[in-house]
Amino acid sequence: METQLHQTRERLMDSALVVFGRRGFPDTRVEDICRAAGSARATFYRHFSGKDEVFDALLSRLIDELDEISSDLDPITPDRSGYLTLHRLMGELIAVAERWSAVVEALSVPRRVPAAERDRAIVAANQVSVRLGAAIDAGGVTGPDARVAALGLVALSDGFGHQVRTWDIDIDRPAVVHSVTALGMRMLHPGLDIGALGLAA
């Protein structure tokens, strides 16, 4: 019984994410989520008090993912090791931005979602940029300010993930991650010869 309840809750959350992406959070109704999930309204209300609570649950998952992928970053040094650290992070951030695009899009417009959720998201995004900034600083950055560079890289990964999802661009994912990583490394370490690292796209 507990497994079935969990599966129903997961189905409702997955359906809400799809509907938020299609209709936008403000225009989504509980009925839309129920229809997409193939569930009755009574079933929905056994799990959530309304669409705000579903959004909050989705946001919690997004925040957990961001915390996990940014919690243990090695220094982004001007060498193969630094490249691989940034490559992993950029690939994961692009995937997160793509997967959670509907939530991120709703959060990007003030007053579109409850203020408490937006505040939580800002804290989480700031934490990612602080951690990335520390990894950049520890790597002996020779380019821009580490904190500003971190914000720029987070924004770059978010933009790519959003475009991949909403524009349905047919791209080679590994090549995109390599290109974004190389761009970031050139920004952080202008004298670095990326080709000399012996990395393939």
Q: What is the pLDDT of residue 167?
A: 61
| CATH 1.10.10-classified regions of the chain | 1-48
Amino acid sitting at position 142: T
Q: What is the pLDDT of residue 164?
A: 64
Q: What is the pLDDT of residue 134?
A: 94
Amino acid sitting at position 198: G
Q: What is the pLDDT of residue 1?
A: 62
Sign of CA dihedral 167, 37, 108, 136: negative
**Look-up of token digits 């989705």:** 58
Other beta carbons less than 10 A from residue 201's beta carbon: 11
Residues of the chain with pLDDT under 50: none
Amino acid sitting at position 150: A
Neighbour-count burial for 140-178, b at 16+ CB within 10 Å, e otherwise: ebebeebeebbbbbbebbbebbbbbbeeeeeeeeeebbb
Looking at domain 51-193, does it have CATH number 1.20.120.420? no
| CATH 1.10.357.10-classified regions of the chain | 51-193
Contacts 24+ apart (CB under 8 A), 13-18: 13/54, 13/57, 13/58, 13/61, 15/39, 16/51, 16/54, 16/55, 16/58, 17/58, 17/100, 17/102, 17/103, 18/102
Q: Among the CATH numbers 1.10.260, 3.40.50, 1.10.3470, 1.10.10, which is that of 1-48?
A: 1.10.10
Q: What is the pLDDT of residue 46?
A: 94
Q: What is the pLDDT of residue 83?
A: 95
